[in-house]
Amino acid sequence: MGATIKDVAALAGVAVSTASYALNGIGRVSTKTRDKVLDAARQLNYQKNGIASDLKRSRTNTIALLLSDLSGPYYSSLIKGVQEVSLNNGYDLIACSSIGGDSSTAVKFIKEKRVDGAIILAHNIPDRTIMDSAREGFPIVMLDRRLEHESVCYVEADHDKGGLLATNYLIENGHRRIAFVSGPASSKHNKDRYNGFTRAMNDHGLTIEPRWNLIGNFTEEGGYRAVKLMIAQGDLPEAVFFANDEMALGGITALQEAGIRVPEDISVIGFDDIVQARFLNPGLTTVRQPDYEVGALAVHLIFQILKGESVAQHYTLDTELVIRGTVRSIQN
């Protein structure tokens, strides 16, 4: 269909190699022939076949961001970090989804080496697959997920510390009777956040009431149900720490329905700082992860490895408290 470099060379009356040099702006050609070639290319509307070029060069100048779903949930600032750093380094970035697991686009791209490196933010790609695809010279960075392998590294936010921060904040504001609504037991993040919570409680000599250890599964629905249950039990805590914002959203709905005011009657704190958190009234106090920085660091590592420099295998970034309006101060 389209014209190839051969056609261009023929029309310009030069060898294919010369045409290639001219088109790629490599100095070896005289300006006269360069113009001839570029003219011919224009006439034929020549566009180079990127695939052939990649094959020959054996590099693509592209890195991939593997997401579990292209249509969300949205790691907006993380992606921004990835995007900006890639662009600044002159690399192309593509995103693809791992829906379908081992037969997904995402897996195809790392297995078949269709890119020069990959950042994985997806939990449905088996460890095995990743380890099979990883090799020296093909950098893979995992986000929010650990994988011990010599040519894979990972960066994560400090969820433990985030849990600590949130809990300390509640305690500083005079709360002592604090409930915790967990995500799924299988989630490492949930575990870490909970660890931070217990540590803060213990540090202050506060006891964790088993009846205030609720399960919410990281969903809005789950948070709603957990709070309903808590209300049914009668004895309310002074504050609730939801292990993520979505559960907090559901929980707040349940509280409102029961006529319990936030923060006047009960304080609420979340985790993640999702977009909706800001739009709640009052705004949800929560813990922000340094998403942009995580993304930026991930690509940065890719480039370091690509350049042959060695990097650590594991990076942990700090979390940050975002104070809005759902925690009130209790005067003692």
Partner DNA sequence: GGATGAAATCGAAACGTTTCGATAGGCTTC
Partner DNA sequence: GAAGCCTATCGAAACGTTTCGATTTCATCC
* Site for DNA, rule CB under 7 A: 4-6, 13-18, 20-21, 23-24, 27-30, 32-33, 46, 48-49, 52-53, 55-58
With CB under 8 A as the contact rule, the residue among 5, 23, 280, 298 that binds its own copies is: 280
The distance of closest approach from Cβ of residue 97 to its own copies in the complex, given in angstroms and rounded to an integer, is 6
- Torsion angle of C-alpha atoms 203, 206, 210, 214, degrees rounded to 10: -70
The minimum distance between CB 96 and its own copies, in angstroms, equals 5
For its own copies, the closer of residues 27 and 72 by Cβ is 72
CB of 205 to its own copies, least distance (A): 39
What is the strand order of the sheet 239-242 is part of? 213-215, 178-182, 239-242, 267-269
- DSSP states of 277-300 as a string? HHHSSSPPPEEE--HHHHHHHHHH
Structural tokens at position 286: 């929560």
Nearer to its own copies, 184 or 325 (CB): 325
Q: Which is nearer to DNA, 57 or 307 (CB)?
A: 57
Q: Taking the complex as a whole, how short is the minimal distance between the CB of residue 139 and DNA, in angstroms?
A: 18
* Residues in the chain, overall count: 332
Q: How far apart are CA 263 and CA 325, in angstroms?
A: 7
Closest to DNA by CB, 18 vs 68, is: 18
The site map against its own copies for 85-104 (x = CB under 8 A) is --x----xxxxxx-xx----
Nearest by Cα to 320 from 147, 120, 164, 128: 164
Comparing CB distances to DNA, the nearer of 53 and 129 is: 53
Token pair for residue 287? 């813990």
Q: Which residues of 208-242 are buried (b: 16+ CB within 10 A; e: fewer)?
A: eeeebebbbbbbbebbbbbbbebeeeeebbbbbbb
The CA dihedral of 158, 164, 169, 175, to the nearest 10 degrees, is 150
Contact by Cβ (8 Å): 86, 93: yes
Measured CA to CA, the distance from residue 230 to residue 320 in angstroms comes to 28
The entry of DNA, its own copies, none near residue 29 (CB within 5 to 8 angstroms by kind) is DNA
- Residues in region 103-162 near its own copies by CB under 8 A: 105, 108-109, 111-114, 132-133, 135-138
Question: Which residue among 5, 23, 79, 262 contacts its own copies (CB under 8 A)?
Answer: 79
Closest-CA residue to 41 (of 16, 76, 69): 16
Binding letters toward its own copies, positions 56-75, x by CB under 8 A: ----x-x-xx---xxxx-x-
Q: Which residues lie near its own copies (CB under 8 A)?
A: 1-2, 45, 47-55, 60, 62, 64-65, 69-72, 74, 76-77, 79-80, 83, 87, 92-97, 99-100, 105, 108-109, 111-114, 132-133, 135-138, 275-276, 279-281
